[in-house]
Amino acid sequence: MTKSTYFGKCMYCGQQAMLEINDDIVASYEDKPDDWDTYISEEATKICKCEGARAWWNVERRVRKAEDECLKLANSEQIGEVLKAAVRPVMRSEFDKLTIKDGGVTYSVYLDSDERLHVRREHKVTEDKTE
C-alpha cells in the first residue's frame, strides 16, 4: 500500500500539518474535492495540539463511537441508520432525545446531565401468568 504526502490545516488554529495518506483513500475522494478538503482538515486537526483541536477530537471520537454503536445495537439496518443520523444533532443539543419503538424493543439516543452520550436498546419483557 503506497502513501503520498499532503498538507492540511487545523480547523481551529490554522497550523499546517504534513500528512501521509494511503493512495486508496485519496482515490476514493477523486471526484469529491469538497469532501477531500474536509477530510484533510479533519486529519490535520486530529494531530494538532491546540486547545480547540483537542476539544473537537474529544467530541468527535465520542460521536464516531456512538454512531458505530448505533449500527451494532439495531436489529435492522434501517433503525441503525436512523439512530446514527440522530447522534450529531443530539450532541449539538438540537433535540434532547430520539426514541424508536419497534415491537418489544426500544432504542434511544440521548445526552445525560453530565453530557455523556448514550445509545441504548431495551427489551420489554412481560410475564403472563394464568392459573
Q: Is residue 128 part of a domain?
A: no
Are residues 62 and 105 located together in one domain of the fold? Answer: yes
Beta bridge partners of 17: 8
Q: Is residue 34 part of a domain?
A: yes
Q: Which domain holds residue 17?
A: 3-49
Q: What is the band of 103 on the pLDDT scale with cuts at 50, 70, 90?
A: confident
Contacts of 64 (CB under 8 A, 6+ apart): none
What gap in Å lies between CA 63 and CA 39, rounded to an integer? 16
Which carries the bigger pLDDT value, residue 129 or residue 72? 72
Are residues 45 and 60 located together in one domain of the fold? Answer: no
Compute the Cα dihedral for 43, 46, 51, 52 and give only its sign: positive
Q: What pTM was estimated for this model as a whole? A: 0.74
Q: What is the model's pLDDT at position 89?
A: 94
- 21-30, 59-68, 119-128: segment of lowest average pLDDT: 119-128
Q: Quickly list DSSP for 41-95.
A: HHHHHHH--SHHHHHHHHHHHHHHHHHHHHHHH-SSHHHHHHHHHHHHHHHTTSS
Whether 129 shows a pLDDT value over 70: the answer reads: no
Q: What is the model's pLDDT at position 130?
A: 64
What gap in Å lies between CA 5 and CA 55, rounded to an integer? 26
What gap in Å lies between CA 118 and CA 99, rounded to an integer? 12
Give the chain's domain count.
2
Are residues 62 and 31 located together in one domain of the fold? Answer: no
Q: What is the model's pLDDT at position 10?
A: 96
Q: What is the band of 114 on the pLDDT scale with cuts at 50, 70, 90?
A: confident
> What does the block give as the cell for 110?
440521548
SS3 for 27?
Answer: helix
Average model confidence (pLDDT) for the chain?
92
Q: What is the model's pLDDT at position 1?
A: 76
